[in-house]
Amino acid sequence: MATILGGITTSHIPAIGAAIAKELEQEPYWQPFFDGYPPVHDWLDEHQPDVAILIYNDHGLNFFLDAVPTFSIGAAEEYHNEDEGWGLRPVPPFPGHPDLSWHLIESVIDDGFDVTMCQDMVVDHGFVVPHLLLWPGNDRPVKIVPVCVNTVLHPLPRPDRCLALGRAIGKAVESFPGDEKVVVLGTGGMSHQLDGERAGFINREFDALCMDAIVDDPEWIANHSILDLVEKAGAQGVEVIQWLMMRGALLGTVTELHRNYHIPISNTGAGLMLLENTR
């Protein structure tokens, strides 16, 4: 069976991609953020995962407001990105793993999650930036299974539902008849609000509570409503539900190996965590 090695959480702010493109990683504004990643690179180099299940939210590149699925899973041979106007240049396509994708789709539907099946997807910074952060450059050492979550158009999926879908994904991976080594990425956030009266809002205290809870008590986050998360983390801080889904997929004993938190990065609380999974 396939094995989930662990989970990684990371922000996916588009300005990060622009900083990478302009080679600004050691500029004073960016250095405390990028300096958090070498321990994660070392872990990935040591364990050499074959597949990354990348949980993210689309920002209007693939799904627009006229049609937004709550949960969708990509089942394509490869995934292309396009220029969104943020300074993140298009990069070579990312290879998919259709066999694992279809297995996940069939398994989670059997478990009661009516996901949208996408045999052709373009992917935006929410997908691309995490890949560039974890595997710098244009190398493609892992195949990708994208899992897209609606965090844009209300009503959004409940946090407890996201945790449950994560657990269904973990169960599906464990029943896949291959020997793939899998890492699960929960992307986005942390606290931030991009518009309205609270534009620029960051809640460092709540972010710290969420990082602690992701390790030992994910139900604490799951017990919040979406409106709770908007109040405490900002309108776009609801992206923490993608971290929660990642955590749900880690069905074994979880050990935190590394974390980093830095503010502000583009008016966002930027968090990074590395969790190892044993089964």
Cross-strand bridge partners of residue 9: 186, 273
148-185 confidence digits (pLDDT tens): 999 999 999 999 999 999 999 999 999 999 999 999 99
Catalytic-labelled residue, pool 59, 97, 192, 262:
192
pLDDT of residue 82: 82
Catalytic-labelled residue, pool 125, 131, 224, 262:
125
- The answer to whether residue 123 sits within a structural domain is yes
38-70 confidence digits (pLDDT tens): 999 999 999 999 999 999 999 988 999 999 999
Q: Is 262 a catalytic residue?
A: no
Report the range of poorest mean pLDDT among 41-50, 79-88, 127-136, 213-222.
79-88
Domain CATH number, residue 98: 3.40.830.10
- The answer to whether residue 277 sits within a structural domain is no
- The answer to whether residue 276 sits within a structural domain is no
- Provide the whole-model pTM: 0.96
pLDDT band at 279; cut points 50, 70, 90: confident
- The answer to whether residue 255 sits within a structural domain is yes
Parent domain of 127 = 3-271
Domain count, the chain: 1
Exposure letters 188-221 (e unless 16+ CB within 10 A, then b): bbbbbbeeeeeeebbbeebbeebbebbeeebeeb
Residue 237, pLDDT above cutoff 80:
yes
Q: Is 12 a catalytic residue?
A: no
- The answer to whether residue 137 sits within a structural domain is yes
- The answer to whether residue 230 sits within a structural domain is yes
Residue 87, pLDDT above cutoff 70:
no
Contacts of 91 (CB under 8 A, 6+ apart): 81, 128, 132, 138
Residue 267, pLDDT above cutoff 70:
yes
Q: What does the alpha-carbon distance between residue 256 and residue 251 come to, in Å, rounded to a whole number? A: 14
- The answer to whether residue 279 sits within a structural domain is no
